[in-house]
Structure 1
Amino acid sequence: MMFSPLRLVRAASVVAAMMAATALTPAFAQEAAPTAVAPEAVVATVGGSTITEADLGFAAEDLAQELQQMPPEQRRAFLVRVLIDMKVMAKAGADAGMADTPLFKQRLQYLQDRSLRRAYFADVIATGVTAEAVKAAYDKFVADFKPAPEIRASHILVATEEEAKAVKAALDGGADFAALAKEKSIDPGAANGGDLGFFSKGMMVAPFEAAAFGLSDIGQVSDPVQSQFGWHVIRLEEKRESSPPAFEKIAPQLQQQLLMTTFDDTVAKLMDGVAIDIPDEALSAAVAAQTETGAPAQ
């Protein structure tokens, strides 16, 4: 299933926040004690105002990128320091009357909506993407998988046609391919005898691909073929049919796809019957153009 850029960004922003909260917060609790810590447990008191384990989790969501750049043993202290600064500055702002301004109240409403959005995503959408659902998606992926031809080939890459012809002549005369690749090839992979591993159609540049897949017998060596990288002499090593990747390799991708699909479907249902008015006609059209499902804004 394809997703519009709008929905990918909208969903990814919530997914990232949820993953930050679920992945980082337990680590702080584990650093503090070997057993689970209650969200209401007090970590510090600042002028009579408390900082709790829940506060650390909230801060971890907002500062996920900064925390990823920091050694794990420093993260908890960093968050506490940030929250101390926040408490002190928040009190100063309240004392100055900033909490009573219309702009602050608008910001507060935005933050409340954002928090509820995250909570709804975590409790309603994400919980539907179970291990069983991911496994079912993998089973369907395997059932729908269509094997494609794959080959394993080695090559020797040189700068000129004359060099390539000389390499081909040496191979025809019985020279060892791997040894000649190490000696002559200018490809970075020459150290392993020029072995390129398995690949399917569409993975290599066109002239190389045509020559490689044109080889029919194992051990057969191609005539020199030119690409933008130089001149290749190619040997066919193995043939096989592709197989689906292991569950462990593709499970994270499938989980992300399920999250996106569930997000998309849930938002579409929530939007059903909701009236949207965007007075700016150009903006309204731009929003409608980015919306994959649902009625355009009016």
Structure 2
Amino acid sequence: MLKYKLLAAVAAISVMAVQAPSFAQDAADPVIAKVAGAAIHKSELDLAMTGLDPQLAQLPEEQKRAAALSGLIDVKLLAKDAEKEGLQDDAAFKKRLAYLTERELHNAFFKKHVVDAVKPDEVKARYDAEIAKIPAQEEAKARHILVKTEDEAKAIIKDLDGGKDFATLAKEKSTDPNKADGGDLGYFTKDRMVPEFSEAAFKLEKGKYTQTPVKTQFGYHVILLEDKRKQAPPPLEQVEPQVKQLVMRDKYIELLTKAKADAGVDITDPALKKAYDEANKEEAAN
């Protein structure tokens, strides 16, 4: 688990209902309702709102609050009846409550030492490291004229040799939808075009056009190379969320590695141990 999550609404509210916490009433956490004389505070409603079903989350704010309050009241009503029947003392319930408590503690620890611990300079350093691993790709900026037959393409090349403007010819003769832009394709890397087109375009010198028609699955092209450059990496602002996830992942793995080493993990079921080890190996490799 690499993303911090609050417990699902039912789990969170179940723990809350069983433990029946007493919230201090003040201006910041007012009482918003009462169930069988027991107060429901704003903080409880806020917690219930975090676990709303995704479909309900699309509702207007007041409708979401009403839906969350309705669910919270339902839970408190039945939880009170459950206490009367002594279900809080059921062994299976105690096990589930212990598990939910540990999971929420895990989430709180994760938030404190992973999510909230990520610093801007760590994100920047990881961004620089990842960018350094990526070889800069070459980009070409080109125009093209697409026609159906080789003879048409040869006639266009003859017109270009005679001094006619490439963009003007593209507007007049190209069958490509971008003809209105004079055949302008902007900047592209080799992998964005079909191989025959890319091979011809990247072989050209800046300002030169193909002297023979270039055949692809779309027809026959005449290509003009306007510029070449190294592709700029995406700015940090554009990929910051993804880079932050990498930093969080490293912090999480570091925490778990230390915790496992300090506490020790012993899986007695051979088949389960094998599956666990393989899953962890795969996770570490990603």
- Shared fold (TM-score, shorter chain, > 0.5): yes
Question: In 2, Cα distance between the equivalents of 1:185 and 1:71?
Answer: 51
Identity of counterpart residues, as a percentage? Answer: 40
Which of the numbers 116, 134, 142 marks the counterpart of 1:153?
142
Give the 3-state SS of the residue equivalent to 2:226 in structure 1. strand
| Residue ranges of structure 2 left out of the alignment (5+ in a row) | 9-26
Maintained 8 Å contact 1:181/1:193: yes
Maintained 8 Å contact 1:222/1:235: no
Maintained 8 Å contact 1:160/1:230: yes
Q: Structure 1 pair 210/122, CA: closer, same or farther in 2 (3 Å)? A: same
Shift of 1:122: 0.6
Tell me the equivalent position of 2:196. 207
Shift of 1:126: 1.5
Give the 3-state SS of the residue equivalent to 2:76 in structure 1. helix
Give the 3-state SS of the residue equivalent to 2:186 in structure 1. strand
Question: In 2, Cα distance between the equivalents of 1:222 and 1:64?
Answer: 62
Which of the numbers 91, 96, 110 marks the counterpart of 1:121?
110
Tell me the equivalent position of 1:253. 242
Whichever of the two has the greater Rg, that structure is 2
When normalised by structure 1's length, the TM-score is: 0.70
The one-character-per-residue Cα deviations of 1:166-201 (angstroms, maximum 9, x if unpaired) are 655555555554455456555554554443322234
Question: In 2, Cα distance between the equivalents of 1:187 and 1:93?
Answer: 71
Q: Structure 1 pair 41/136, CA: closer, same or farther in 2 (3 Å)? A: farther
| Residue ranges of structure 1 left out of the alignment (5+ in a row) | 1-9, 21-36
Q: Structure 1 pair 155/254, CA: closer, same or farther in 2 (3 Å)? A: same
Give the 3-state SS of the residue equivalent to 2:126 in structure 1. helix
Aligned-residue CA RMSD (Å)? 3.6
Q: Structure 1 pair 129/170, CA: closer, same or farther in 2 (3 Å)? A: same
Tell me the equivalent position of 1:292. 281
Question: In 2, Cα distance between the equivalents of 1:222 and 1:61?
Answer: 64
The one-character-per-residue Cα deviations of 1:81-117 (angstroms, maximum 9, x if unpaired) are 3323332343344455554444333332332222111
* One-letter identity of the residue aligned with 1:151: A
Question: In 2, Cα distance between the equivalents of 1:177 and 1:86?
Answer: 72
When normalised by structure 2's length, the TM-score is: 0.72
Tell me the equivalent position of 1:33. none
Give the 3-state SS of the residue equivalent to 2:191 in structure 1. coil
Shift of 1:155: 3.1
Maintained 8 Å contact 2:209/2:222: no
